[in-house]
Structure 1
Amino acid sequence: MIHEIATITIDPARAADFEAAVAAARPHFEAATGFVSFGLQRSIETPERYHLVVGWESVEAHMVDFRASEGFQHWRTLASPFFAAPPSVEHVSTVI
């Protein structure tokens, strides 16, 4: 299993609406092939910064299967109006 970590910056005045949009998008992730887990974390020191952490069976499950799905389009439609800049995305694996 790997984790996708998307760092997302928004206008903090719109935080409640952004969080509601991510909650509405969650079922699209959960329905995806290779989905494992989902979490949204907000920075305490930098409240306009969020980390969307999604567990996937593989990088391909995220980058190929999910990105080509209708669910990904729904996610972008719901969340992208809140993005102050394009999200930064990386994949990590647990080593210890």
Structure 2
Amino acid sequence: MILEIAMLEVKPGMEEQFEVDFKIANTYISAINGYVKHSLQKCIEQKNKYSLLVEWDTLENHIVDFRQSSEYLKWKKLLHHYYDPFPTVEHFEKVFESKKSDTIE
């Protein structure tokens, strides 16, 4: 499993419309081979800052299957004009995970 993390800075004043359009763009990314799930998180301290977390089966599912698809062109047309600066996107592999039920009491 690969976790894609994108830090998104939306142009001030465009946050509400960005969130509406992001929900529309949901259909584009979720149709891609190897897509698992995604979430959009809004920063509490900076109202125009978001993090996009996307889980993929493989790195290629993101950088080839999605980024070279017609769905990505629709995603790009709908969302990319909101960003300033353009987002930083990185990919991560899980090293360790713990949850409350794993702790010894």
**Same fold by TM-score, threshold 0.5 exceeded?**
yes
Extract unaligned runs of 5+ from structure 2. 97-105
How far apart are residue 17 of structure 1 and its match? Answer: 0.3
What residue ranges of structure 1 are gaps of 5+ in the alignment?
A: none
1:90 aligns with 2:98: no
Q: What one-letter code is carried by the residue in structure 2 that aligns with 1:56? A: W
Q: Structure 1 CA distance, aligned partners of 2:57 and 2:83?
A: 27
| Alignment match, 1:26 | 26
Counterpart secondary structure, 2:13: helix
Q: What TM-score results when the alignment is normalised by the length of structure 1?
A: 0.95
Computed over aligned residues only, the root mean square deviation of the Cα atoms, in angstroms, reads: 0.9
Number of equivalenced pairs = 96
SS in 2 for 1:54: strand
Which residue is 1:3 aligned to?
3
Any residues of structure 2 matched to 1:1-96 within 5 Å, and which? 1-96=1-96
From the CA coordinates, give the structure whose radius of gyration is larger.
2
So what's the TM-score if we normalise by structure 2? 0.87
